[in-house]
Amino acid sequence: MTSKRQLGMRIRYLREQYGYSQLDFAIECGINRNYLCDLERGKRNPTLDILERIAHGFNISLEELFKGIENIPGV
């Protein structure tokens, strides 16, 4: 499994744990919902700015965003 796919699964897992819909979380982060969808499916390479927005949306650090990627259910 690619690192893009693993990161996408981590973002989706966290988003669902926080109770956000894709649209609500995309608005919270200031990104397009379609872009978020592509990220979650591992179809995009996010920039550092986008990763920071996502971490901020979850109120976590970048380190926490990447933490546990290998332990995501379904991976």
pLDDT, tens digit, 9 for 90 and up, residues 33-72: 999 999 999 999 999 999 999 999 999 999 999 987 776 5
Q: What CATH architecture does domain 3-66 belong to?
A: Orthogonal Bundle (1.10)
14-23, pLDDT tens digit by residue?
999 999 999 9
CA dihedral sign, ordered 16, 10, 24, 43: negative
Name the residue ranges covered by the structural domains of the chain. Answer: 3-66
| Angle 30-51-43 from CA coordinates, rounded to 5° | 90
Q: Rounded to two decimals, what is the model's pTM?
A: 0.88
> What dihedral do alpha carbons 36, 38, 60, 66 form, nearest 10°?
180
Question: What CA–CA distance (Å, rounded) separates 14 from 57?
Answer: 10
pLDDT band, residue 11 (cuts 50/70/90): very high
